[in-house]
Amino acid sequence: MIEVRDVHLRFEDFYLQDINLRIEEGCFFVLMGPTGAGKTVLLEAIAGHHRLQSGTIMMRGHDVTRWLPEERRVGIVYQDYALFPHLSVEENVRFASRYLSDDARRGLEERFGTLVTRLNLRHLLHRKPATLSGGEAQRTALARALLPDPDVVLLDEPLSALDPAFRGDMRDMLGELHAETGKTFVVVTHDFAEARELGSKGAILNQGRIAQAGTIEELFEAPVDEFVARFTGVSRRARG
pTM over 0.85: yes
For position 106, what pLDDT does the model report?
A: 74
When pLDDT is averaged across residues 197-203 and rounded to a whole number, the result is 95
pLDDT band at residue 238 using 50, 70 and 90 as cut-offs: very low
What are the pLDDT digits (tens) for 70-119? Answer: 889 999 998 888 899 999 999 999 987 776 666 666 778 888 999 999 89
Residue 57: exposed, middle, or buried by beta-carbon count in 10 A (0-12, 13-18, 19+)? Answer: buried
For position 100, what pLDDT does the model report?
A: 67
Least confident interval from 17-21, 101-105, 115-119, 186-190: 101-105
- 217: Cα within 13 Å, side-chain hemisphere: 0
What are the pLDDT digits (tens) for 210-225? Answer: 999 999 999 999 999 9
Name the strand (E) or helix (H) holding 174.
Answer: helix 164-181
